[in-house]
Every structure is written in C-alpha cells, then in structure tokens.
Structure 1
C-alpha cells in the first residue's frame, strides 16, 4: 500500500534528478523483462497523443487499495496515495509536477506565481479570475490564509499531517485584489512550490472540527475538472464526472471510476474489462499475467516509489532502544528481499536503496546505509550488547522474549512475502517475528497512523521535492505525530531538516539532507528495501496515461482518454 511523503509538494526540485534524453519503446508482452537500475531517469511512458486523437467521452476504470479515510489531504488520516489521486480530480493544484521532476505553474488556477523577494522571502500569487469554488465563491487570498493558519502548527487542535513550510510563514495578505496573494516568510523556505496545493476553501480550515472531521466522508466544496458523482462505501467505489462549471479545458473523459480491488484480483479484473489498468509494483504474478493479455501494454518509467520497513520507537515500545532497531536492520538482507521480489521481473540488478530522501538516479543520492548494512554476526553482537541474550531459539531480556509484531495489510501478496522473508531472516539472529495481517481498509487508520505496530511495511510515494516532503516523516515533534508513525527522531535531525529546508543553494541543500540521512540511519527509524520498477499494465488504447514518472501531482486528468 502507498503513502505519500508529507504534506504538499513543496519546492524547486528540478535539481533532484540527473536528467537524460527521452526515448525508447514501451515494454510489452514480447519483452523478456523490465528495466532495472539501467532504466532512463526523467521520462514517462504514457502513449502521448494530441487531444485531437483522443475520443471525447468514455469511462476510465481505476483500481485502488482503499477509498479515502479523509478527503482533506492535509489531515493526518487523509494522506494515502489513492485518496490523493481522487482529490486531485476535484480540487485545484497550483502547480503541475512534470515527468522529469520539474514544476510549472498550473495556468488553469494561477495566472502567475513568483518569488518576489529573497530577504525577506516573499511570494506573490495571482489567481486566475475565472477560478470559482462549486458554491460560486471565487478562489481568493482567504483560502491561502486559512490553510496557513490551520497548518502552521500554532493550534494543536488541527490534526495536521505536516506543518512543513507553513510554520515558516509570517503572514498571508491580500494584494491589490482578492485574487492577489502575498505570502511573507519569517524564515527562508526553499521548496515553496508545494505549498497551498491542492488548495482548499477557507470554509474547510475555519475550525479544527471542520478540518479534522468535516470532510471525512466527502468533499463539501470542489473546484476541478471533475466533480463527485458517487461515493459508495458499500460497493467500495467513487465516481467523478465532468464538472460543467470547470473553467479550464474540458476533460476528454466523461467519467472516472475508482474502485477498490484486492491485489490478487487485479489481473482478472483487467482481463475481464472491469478495470483499465493496474500498477504492477513488485508482483511477478501481475507482471506475468499482464504479459499474456491481449490488448494490454506494459509501460514503465522510473517512479519515486519505494518499499520500506518502518520501526516503532515510541516510549515503552519493545523497539524503543535505537541500538536494538539498528541491530534488527543489520539482520535483514535487503538485497535478498529485492532479488526475491524483483529478480524474476527485471533485467539487471534489483534496486536496493540506501537513502531516505533521494532515490537511485537522483542528483542527491548517496548510500548512507553502512551503519545498518546487512551483517548477521554484527546483528547478534549488537543485540547481545543491548542486553537481549539468546536463550534457546529466541532472545530474552529481564525474562521478556524479543517478539516483534509485524503488521501488514491483507490481501496483499507483496507485503505477505516481504514479512515472511524478514521473519525467516530475523529468526537466524534469535528474534521472533509475529506477523499480524489486518484488513487493508483498516491498515493506515487503525494501525499505522496511531503507532499500533512494532514494524510495518508500506510504500512511500515521494515527490520531486523530497526534502521538505520528508520533514513530517523524519522530524520529531512530541506534540504532533505528523507522518512520523514510529515516533523516532532527535534534536540533531530536526536541526538539519530545518537547515536544509531553509537553504536556497541547491548543492548545499542536498549536502545537508545527506547529513540528516546519516543520522536517520543511526536512529534505525526506517529500512528502505527496494525501488519499485514503475511498471503498469494498461489497455493499449489508453492515451496520455500509464507510467507517468514524476507527473503524478496531478495526473493529466484533462487529456487522458481513449484513442478508439
């Protein structure tokens, strides 16, 4: 299952990737395997077609793991990736993240956005005068002001996923008109292009109760190319339909249906025409099935998406001691896990990641994982030193067994396979792993978000702005969870994250982030496993959609559609 990295997409991150030229055909049924570490960075594989070649109308059927727990993406329960995909169809994004990780102004929403001053840092936004909320109210500075007040961390009643960037703002003001917005910072914030996007109406942020609970079941006010058609939690589906009030280019599709489909059922659903694509992820079964399907193409692009293990280091947890967490990480052979999951599917090496901020191929990437690198004998010695002595097959300390509760979503064959591999590997160093499979619909809200686990596995779906987008994950605030579900952090990491987010020099910002990454490895907060190959199986007649690379905030909902 996927989680996005922190609130908003905040920054200048064209520097995040070392770009290469686009090109190359799609992978399809005749290919022997997906590209691995040799894949080209910065290109999408989406069957690009001019609008004139895309049919008007039609329904695109999109499978998801779950429906949104909250339609307010900035609320703690609202941060799952599937929810974001639905939210982006009906809410305004100020910027568009492109396949090569560059970011451009969304002219449907803003006429302009600029850095007007460096010292103090001042932003100026000019809202498209045609932009209106579904209640007829024009988008205005009041919406920006409301988001800032709700997300800046001063009022703890607002259950926010992250305060990053907003906490650095001194004031949000009206400019010459209500559609002119001036944002003044009290402290520099480099990755500012992710702020206020998606934009929410002032009515949502007016009170903490409305922010936390008002949009839990459905969005009340929208402003996008689509509007809500149906939300049916019994049938586990959401439909969005064209909104005639939308002032921008008319979408090609008449309707998008997001339907919850269990992972093991995806291939049958595509073969039977119930869905139009699925993400292959790290499933050899889905890859093999897709290769043999008529009228289906496998498309692939490097995607900011990786699988990992989060550790719970909260006070009183069995893994509270960072030395124990690091020792456990040393007992997990990530290369073996990556090979087991991806080895039959890709050509070349599986992509094991050694950095919490930057993925392979990015300009900032450095492997900082040596402190937690796989070494079974070192793991045993470090557990011994931490007081967990081997008694029989399992380690004990003060009469208590070292039993780790590994929470995974079900049905999810990938999580199941990873957890069993980890269980087997940790058994070799004297650690017992108790796998607890919980319903996918409950996984985040009832387990991950509230720290109801010892270790757990899901995917981080990152953005082009990995530093600011990660502050709520690796920064520690005793008064707010944000997305630091394992409650692990330090003052040192907090200071480095603050420094990196305030550094306007691109090279220096990457260097500081890597210093923070080294400290995160020492804390044993999370263990990255492998980078997802970024492949999708999709109906061959679908245009402007597929393996989108970084162009997922938002997807190209306007131009996607069918060629026949």
Structure 2
C-alpha cells in the first residue's frame, strides 16, 4: 500500500449527479470512443508540487502525483482496472503467461513495435536490469520496494530478444500487478548513481504516448507533447500541462479557464465551488484511498492491551465521522469494511461485523478491564493511571484534525480522555508516526491491485527500525503466516479467501480502524472525456480528449 497524507482530502455510464456515487467498481469519466473526440487540445491539470525524482521505483519518487505524471510517459506490464484487478498492457506486451508453477516461470512477449525514446527496442535486457536494481542484492540502489523482485532467481531471453523468461525462487502470486510497473531502460537501471539521482530534474528516456517537451522549475510546470515515435493508438490530446497550484486556488483557476479539472477530495468548499461553475461537472466513483485511525499497540504503550483496543474501537462511531466529513459530498456515506480489498473490487467483503458502534458494550468492557470512573463524568483510571490517549495529527491537515476532534468527543462519553497533538506536517511521519510517537493517529492508505504483496508490510513483525508500514507495531504471527501463504498462492480464488480470513483477524486485533473511502470526487470540464473519477483504475491519457 502507499500512504497519502492528503492535506485537503488529501467504465460505466458517466454523468453521476453531485453527491451520488457511481456504482462500486466502476468509473465516472464521461466514457467516449476516442475516435469521436476532437483531434488536439491541451489538458491542463494541477499538481501539489513538482516530483523530486522521476524514478517511481526510487524511494523519493514513490508517491501518487509522480505516478500520475509518469503514466503518460513510461511503459508497464499491466494496468489496474476498475474492478480492482489488473489487465495486460498490450502497448508493452503481446502476452504474459505462467508457463510453469513448480518452479514458477513466467514468459513475457514484448510488443515488437515497443521502443524507447532513443529509438532502441525494448528487450529482455531491460527486464533483467530492472530486477537487478530492485531485488535488494545491491545496497547502493535506493529502491522503494523489493517485493516480488527479491523472489526472482533468473531472467533470460526466450526465442528472441523480445521474449523474456522469468524464473522464480519461490512462488509469487501477484506477479501480474506487482512487477515491471513501470519499466525503466537498462542503461538507467544498470547504474546505481543514475537510478538514485539521475532523474531528479526530468525523465531522461521514456516510452509512452507522450514525451517531455519541457519542465520549468521557475514556473513549476511540466509540459508533455505527443510522442511521434509512439506505436500504440494515437493520443487525442496534443499536450498535457501540469502546473503546481495551491489547493485554495483550484476553484478560481478552473472558473477562470486556467485548468480543466481538479480533485475535490473531502473539501466541501471545493465541492460547492465546482457545482457553481458553468460548464463543469462533478464526477465521482469510489477510489482506492481510505481514511483510518491507527492504534499504537507497541509494548509499553497504553494501547498494547488488545482487549482495551477492542473496547475503544466499539466506542468510535465511524458512521458519524463519515457523515460529518464527507456526507455533504457523497450523500449517505459508505463505510470501509475491509483492510485489504477496496470497495468495488472482486475480493471485497465487509468483515467489520463485531466492531460496530456499541458504546454500552464499550462501557462494560472498560469496566471489566479495571478502567473505572472514580466519579460520574470523570476520566477512567486504572492503578492510578488515567485513560488518556494522545491523538497526533499533522497541523496543516484539517481532515485529520476533524477526525481527532470527533473521536475526542465520542470517547469522552466513555470516560476516555483524548488529547489532540497537532505537529508540523513536514515532521508528521519522520518524528511521530514512523517512530511510534503517538497513541492514535489518522491519515490515508491507498489500496492497490496487488493487495497481498503491498499490504503485508503493514502487519509485519517490527524488528528494531524495520517496521515496514506497521507504525502501530501491532503484530499477530497468525496474520503474517497467512500473508506468507497468500503471497505464494497462485490460485486467485483461494488467495481471495485467504485475504478475507486475514482481514477478520486484523479487525479482531484492532490494528487500525478503517473509516470511509475517499470521496473520489473530481471537478471536470464537461467537454473532457475519458477522464475524471477513475475509481480503482489507472489513468489512460491516450484515450483522454475533448468532445467536438
């Protein structure tokens, strides 16, 4: 999973009404046959900041906005689809087949027309170099994640240089969604210095429907134009321009015809402003991101006791939080009922059953645990220690702050004191979340089409500073064992069953409490087609364009 702080949030038939979600697992993008769209035009989009590294596989480059820019530029083996699964990207690959299960062997057949912007054909050697750079064997590479790559034993050619044969040391089930997304050229991956810092100013070698025309560090713009050497379907757009824009200025810039779309997220102001702009549609589909509350259950922490975490969880009214924060945008909100699969995916089931809002049960459980109120309305105490929880939030994040304040009010009724600690946003993860300096905290997780390999690190056993994404340091060996089994289970149906077994264990462990999916709302110029609320899917800039 990727993490998102989201400061303001932070297909099917189109045209969803404001406040009404598109059906789960679908999109609201004004779908049109690209052949019917205008040939040309410039798509103008906002960015929070310019990428600090255009290598998405490097630690500093592994973030959502960089991903969105690179999707117009770099090749990848598979795309994430609206149902939460993955589909073969035929611009790069003609086929990708599992040809042996023991040992696991996958054969990729590269599109014969696929070439880098230098004119060099994309070959098996690009795949081999990508594995060497990301498999953890060379510590000089500052890679973001070795998952999947570390399980590869050998990469070699098939019958031609356009055929890749990948042999695994042990089974890796999510090879389709996890590996070679995106693919970088051999000459780049072969040099650790280039891998780490060679693309901090701009992407140097690309292979997508667009290419870089310019990146202006002063104006803070990225301009892409059609790639004349592109072998796939011709893009409808002539240009895409991203400009760094303050979130408070998004609605004004859209109204002034300076940008063509912006993500509304959880901002009711951006939502209401969008509805008032002529020629602008609000499009919405449930996305991959969801908001949650993380518990710190590290040894010695006040919430190290699972039974206490369970009692606290039953005292939190998730529906009230969701209604307060996103109800004006989405109508009656849908609660997130699964830690692993996003709403709308084929694997999703709501496993939250035993952890609905039940303040009476929470009161009884707290009493049974010895956390007693010395007098009516007082804070509960056990062995002279008050039941006081420190809720850490980033100071510039109004959504996290609102979640904290609502939880404060709800738990106060149970005799649990919550203290809001707003910390500098730039230090939120480094000095607080990463090191376990909190009792409760809130931010977003982003689900992916590779839930086992991407989510396992959230629940891994903490070992000194190696915690993966397990910021609360809550570990159940049974959960890790099932993740290990799922990562190696090549049968999709069996793997989904394992995923939901794991999710039930996570709910019982109260590792974190999923609250609600992000709104998925976008404000989009109504003449823009195949763009907007893409739900669980990746963007497709080659199909995006304007109606005549």
Q: Distance in 2 between matches of 1:361 and 1:133?
A: 35
Q: Distance in 2 between matches of 1:186 and 1:158?
A: 21
Q: Distance in 1 between matches of 2:307 and 2:213?
A: 51
Which deviates the most, 67-76 or 117-126?
67-76
Structure 2 counterpart of 1:49, from 13, 32, 41:
32
- Tell me the alpha carbon deviations over residues 48-81 of structure 1, each in whole angstroms, 9 at most, x when there is no partner: 2333332333322222344434433233443322
Match of 2:338 in 1: 355
- Tell me the alpha carbon deviations over residues 171-207 of structure 1, each in whole angstroms, 9 at most, x when there is no partner: 2222233322111123222222111111123344446
TM-score w.r.t. length of structure 1: 0.83
Question: What is the aligned length?
Answer: 536
SS at match of 1:342: helix
Alignment of 1:376-415 (within 5 A): 376=359, 379=362, 393=379, 402-408=388-394, 410=396, 412-415=397-400
| TM superposition shift of 1:438 | 3.6
Structure 1 counterpart of 2:283, from 299, 310, 314:
299
Q: Distance in 1 between matches of 2:342 and 2:75?
A: 28
- Residues 1:295 and 1:452: Cα distance change in structure 2 (over 3 Å): farther
Alignment of 1:121-520 (within 5 A): 121-155=104-138, 158-194=141-177, 195-206=179-190, 210-232=194-216, 235-313=219-297, 322-347=306-331, 349-370=332-353, 372-376=355-359, 379=362, 393=379, 402-408=388-394, 410=396, 412-428=397-413, 429-436=415-422, 438-439=424-425, 454-476=439-461, 478=463, 480-520=466-506
- Tell me the alpha carbon deviations over residues 501-550 of structure 1, each in whole angstroms, 9 at most, x when there is no partner: 22223332122112211222233322110123433220011111112223
Contact 2:85/2:345, CA 8 A, preserved across alignment: no
| TM superposition shift of 1:319 | 5.0
Alignment of 1:548-563 (within 5 A): 548-552=534-538, 555-563=539-547
Contact 2:404/2:420, CA 8 A, preserved across alignment: no
Match of 1:3 in 2: 3
| TM superposition shift of 1:95 | 1.8
Contact 2:153/2:167, CA 8 A, preserved across alignment: yes
Contact 2:12/2:27, CA 8 A, preserved across alignment: no
Which deviates the most, 334-343 or 51-60?
51-60
Q: Distance in 1 between matches of 2:467 and 2:193?
A: 18
- Residues 1:402 and 1:237: Cα distance change in structure 2 (over 3 Å): farther
- Residues 1:102 and 1:399: Cα distance change in structure 2 (over 3 Å): closer
| TM superposition shift of 1:124 | 0.6
Q: Distance in 2 between matches of 1:220 and 1:485?
A: 35
Q: Distance in 1 between matches of 2:420 and 2:486?
A: 38
Contact 2:280/2:526, CA 8 A, preserved across alignment: yes
Contact 1:409/1:437, CA 8 A, preserved across alignment: yes
Q: Distance in 2 between matches of 1:218 and 1:486?
A: 36
| TM superposition shift of 1:497 | 0.8
SS at match of 2:328: coil
Q: Distance in 2 between matches of 1:561 and 1:545?
A: 8
Match of 2:8 in 1: none
Match of 2:523 in 1: 537
- Unpaired runs of 5+ residues, structure 2, are 6-10
TM-score w.r.t. length of structure 2: 0.85
Q: Distance in 1 between matches of 2:519 and 2:87?
A: 26
Contact 2:107/2:165, CA 8 A, preserved across alignment: yes
- Tell me the alpha carbon deviations over residues 269-306 of structure 1, each in whole angstroms, 9 at most, x when there is no partner: 32222321122333333322222220001222333332
Over alpha carbons, which structure has the higher Rg? 2
Query: Aligned pair 1:120/2:103, yes or no?
Result: yes
